[in-house]
Structures are given as structure tokens and as C-alpha cells.
Amino acid sequence: MKIIVTGCKGQLGTEIIKQLREGRSEIGPIPEKLMNATVIPVDLPELDISNYKMVDDFIRRQRPDVIINCAAYTNVDGCEVNHDAAFKANALGPRNLAQAAEKTGARLVHVSTDYVFSGRENGGIAQDEATIPGPISAYGSTKLMGEKYVEQFCHRHFIVRTAWLYSYYGKNFVKTIVNAGRKFGKLEVVNDQCGNPTNAVDLAHELLQLCVTHEYGLYHCTGEGICSWYDFASEIIRLSGVDASVAPCTSEEYKAKHPESADRPKWSALDNRMLRCTVGNDVRDWKEALACFFAHWDGENGMKTN
């Protein structure tokens, strides 16, 4: 089997390639069909997914069985001021990959986000795949457009929404909190935005389980359990052993101090219903996955220890 992984230098792309290389994740083995797969990792500048001709030529030449799209413009605040760049990466890129996949018969796994939801009305219930989206930011809007393009142009698709992603690689909230705790000793984190912290190990594991099936459609894949950013940060500090305190604040208080920041949903908790009802939901509880992260992460260089 031949697999193209776009955005291979990012958190998720790096983890997927690692699991394909090692044949397993912390959760368990990858599917037998993926053992000894030919993996083609690509990123900028080799492949600009927003360039239709470049994508079309590359996919026609490689003729993969599976394309896993991890490429995106994920800077939520940056999307508010760089609308065209966000649209190219988050909407046009998936469209181009979807059209190329359809032409060559490849399966397309496209990663999306909880920020496609408004988070204004929730009733305390995690949102499953039947919940109607309503993004309130440029990031969420462009990611939703990408979903629509994938659904429209590629029949063999898996659209997988995730949230609050962190990993051993690259920049993420966990590392930011650890570093800020060491530097300042006192942190203030919003306590009225709730969602699901997700370890990239779990997401990569589920994507690889999905991509060898014909269970096409829309999925949610996040860590089990719901918390606020404040809860998440508090657990990060506790597990890291950093000598720092974490105090809660409201979204309004944060916005007053950072007026340039994008609006974020106050309730974006997702329910992995589709996974449970198809291939099975192996995603760990968010606290368990975070503890495992700290058990294996070398905070000095950010690499996973053996």
C-alpha cells in the first residue's frame, strides 16, 4: 500500500509517519494492511496543496492508495488577519486533494477541527457528527469550507474533526504552559471554554485504523472526557512538576487583555459517536493520555524517549 502524508513536518504528520515506521502506537498495532507500506511524506515547499496543478501532477505521478491530509493553517488568531492564506490552506488545499484523489481512486483522510462549531448553545452535551456547524472565526469558517469541498469532490473520504491537539513534536498548548510556568511561576487561563484535549498518538492511531476500511464519512476523534483550558493547564502543571500556580479567568477578561485574539467557542466538546459505531473508539481518557505523554516526553529537547 502507498500512503501520502501531507503536512508531514507538523505534530500529527510526524506522529503518523512514526507509527507507520514502527508498526504500532502506544495504544496498539497499526492495521496489518499498513505493515511495510510505502510512505511518501510531503510538506512545503515540495508540495503546496493550495496549488491545483502541483497537487494534480503530484497525485497522478505517485498514484497513492491513501492520502492523509495533515496540512493546514492552524494559527487561529493569524487566520483573522491572513484570510487569503487561511482559505488557501484550509479550503482550496483540501479541494485540490479531493479532486486528485477522486481521479486516481485514492482514499482521502482529511483532518478538521472542533472550531467549526459556534459553542454558544450546548446544554452540557458533547456534540456528535449530526450537530450542525456554525463557526465564529476565520479558522473555523475556512476549515468548514474544506470539509464541504472534500465531501463534494471525493467519494472515498474520511473527514475527521479533532481538538486541542498536542504531541511530542512541534509547538502546542502543553509545551507552552510548561514553558510559561517555568518562566513566570503564575499563569492565568480561561475557565469558560470547554473541550477535549487530544494526544496526537491517539488521533494518528485512529486515522490509521480508519484508512484501510470503507467506512467513509464524517468522524469526531478527540480525547475522552471534557475539561476547560484552565483544567487542562492545571493538570499539565501538576504532571510536569513545574513550580507554578494557575488561576482561572473568563473569556471576556482574556479578550480585554488581548483584543486582537479571535473569538473561540465556549463549548466545543465532541462525542466520538461515529468511531464507536464503526471501527471502534480506542481513544484514551484525556488525563490518561496526558500522563502517558509526560511519562515519555523529554522536556529538554521535546523528543520522545525510548
The DSSP code sequence of the chain is -EEEEESTTSHHHHHHHHHHHHTB-SS-BPPGGGTT-EEEEE-TTT--TT-HHHHHHHHHHH--SEEEE------HHHHHH-HHHHHIIIIIHHHHHHHHHHHHT-EEEEEEEGGGS--S--TT--B-TTSPP---SHHHHHHHHHHHHHHHH-SSEEEEEE-SEE-SSS--HHHHHHHHHHHHSEEEEESS-EE--EEHHHHHHHHHHHTTS---EEEE---BS-EEHHHHHHHHHHHHT---EEEEE-HHHHHHH-TTSPP--SB--B--HHHHHTT---PPBHHHHHHHHHHHB-TTT-PBP-
Q: At what angle do helices 286-296 and 200-210 cross, to 10 degrees?
A: 110
Please confirm, yes or no, whether 169 is among the known catalytic residues.
no
Q: Please, are residues 58 and 101 in contact by the beta-carbon 8 Å criterion?
A: no
Phi first, then psi, for residue 177 (nearest 5°) are -65, -45
Give the integer Cα–Cα distance in Å for 95 and 256.
37
Q: Which of 73, 115, 139, 149 is catalytic?
A: 139
Measuring CA to CA, how many Å separate 125 from each of 8, 56, 207, 225?
A: 34, 41, 25, 11
Catalytic residues: 139
